[in-house]
């Protein structure tokens, strides 16, 4: 089955010109070009386009998208990472809706407003932490309650532990150790333990989290700020750890 460039553009909410540009820069080649010069796309091309559009929504430029796609060897793992991001964003928007509804209700009744009610869902720093700390668990509500049950100091200690892990990954990379080597895997053991506070991730979810660090610059910068290429190194180390030690 295949679709013309016009139909794909219409369904994707973009333009034929944009799709041709994606092809010209080597990002999205058509499955064939007809005798009339029209480009046609099959199922594999549509899946790749979906990933391109998702990465565009995350704010990546075309060169960065090309790099991400080239590094994502497992299409299913990449799609799981994207799906997780979308589900988390849906949950955050749901909290915003509930927050605005509560604010409206209390304002109309002249009731006292609480900061946690008014601002719930609007803290994007918290959203970033939620993604990195909760990935890999199907018990979303349970992990949310766990995070909220922590004291301020416990949350700071948890984040500080992650910062130490990120710095150690950069040091291991700069020292020339391989991602699947003993030294990097020891750091990854700590990463898994850190992640498990919110629920022990499965093999697919732990590897998917590593993919997300590369796919989304909001998370990748937490690692690359310690040294260029650290996010990719972390992804590869987590994938190796998941393959050796975890099950779905």
pLDDT in tens, 3-40: 999 999 998 888 999 999 999 999 999 999 998 888 99
- SS3 category, 200: coil
Burial class (CB in 10 A: 0-12, 13-18, 19+), 116: exposed
> Taking a C-beta distance cutoff of 8 angstroms, is the pair 201, 135 a contact?
yes
Angle at 177 between CA 172 and CA 179, to 5 degrees: 85
By percentage, how much of the chain surpasses pLDDT 70?
77
State how beta strands 32-33 and 39-41 pair.
Answer: antiparallel
Q: Specify the domain boundaries for CATH 1.10.1660.10 within the chain.
A: 3-71
- SS3 category, 41: strand
Per-residue confidence (pLDDT) for residue 77, from 0 to 100? 72
Distance, C-alpha 15 to centroid of its chain: 26
Q: What is the mean pLDDT of residues 86-115?
A: 72
Starting at the edge strand found earlier in the chain, the sheet holding 32-33 runs 3-4, 39-41, 32-33
Token pair recorded at residue 88: 């988390």
By percentage, how much of the chain surpasses pLDDT 90?
33
Q: Which CATH number is 3-71 given? A: 1.10.1660.10
Band (130; pLDDT cuts 50, 70, 90): very low
Residue 117 has a CB neighbour count (10 Å cut-off) of 15
Cα–Cα distance between 179 and 175 in angstroms, integer? 11
Mean pLDDT computed over every residue of the chain = 79
Q: Specify the domain boundaries for CATH 1.10.490.50 within the chain.
A: 75-245
Residue 109 has a CB neighbour count (10 Å cut-off) of 7
Q: What is the third-level CATH fold of 75-245? A: Globin-like (1.10.490)
Per-residue confidence (pLDDT) for residue 117, from 0 to 100? 52
Q: What is the mean pLDDT of residues 178-201?
A: 89
> Taking a C-beta distance cutoff of 8 angstroms, is the pair 65, 56 a contact?
yes
For residue range 41-92, list pLDDT tens digits in order: 999 899 889 888 887 776 677 887 887 787 766 677 777 776 776 776 677 6
Is residue 174 scored above 80 in pLDDT?
A: yes
Is residue 231 scored above 80 in pLDDT?
A: yes
Burial class (CB in 10 A: 0-12, 13-18, 19+), 183: middle
Residues near 200 by Cβ (< 8 Å), separated by ≥ 6? Answer: 136, 137, 192
């Amino acid at each position: 089955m295949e679709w013309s460039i016009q139909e794909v553009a219409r369904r994707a909410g973009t333009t034929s010109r944009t799709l041709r540009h994606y092809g010209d820069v080597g990002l999205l080649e058509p499955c064939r070009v007809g005798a009339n010069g029209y480009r046609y796309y099959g199922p594999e091309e549509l899946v790749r386009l979906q990933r391109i559009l998702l990465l565009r929504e995350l704010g990546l430029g075309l060169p960065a998208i090309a790099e991400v796609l080239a590094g994502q060897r497992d299409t299913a793992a990449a799609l799981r990472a994207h799906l997780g991001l979308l589900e988390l964003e849906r949950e955050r928007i749901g909290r915003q809706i509930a927050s605005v509804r509560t604010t409206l209700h209390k304002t109309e009744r002249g009731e006292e407003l609480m900061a946690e009610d008014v601002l719930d869902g609007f803290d994007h720093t918290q959203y970033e932490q939620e993604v990195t700390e909760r990935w890999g668990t199907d018990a979303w509500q349970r992990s949310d309650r766990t995070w909220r049950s922590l004291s301020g100091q416990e949350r700071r200690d948890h984040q500080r532990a992650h910062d130490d892990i990120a710095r150690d990954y950069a040091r291991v990379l700069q020292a020339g150790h391989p991602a699947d080597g003993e030294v990097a895997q020891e750091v990854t053991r700590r990463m898994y333990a850190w992640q498990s506070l919110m629920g022990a991730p499965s093999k697919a979810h732990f590897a998917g989290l590593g993919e997300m660090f590369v796919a989304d610059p909001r998370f990748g910068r937490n690692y690359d700020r310690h040294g260029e290429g650290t996010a990719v190194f972390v992804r590869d180390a987590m994938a190796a750890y998941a393959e050796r030690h975890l099950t779905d």
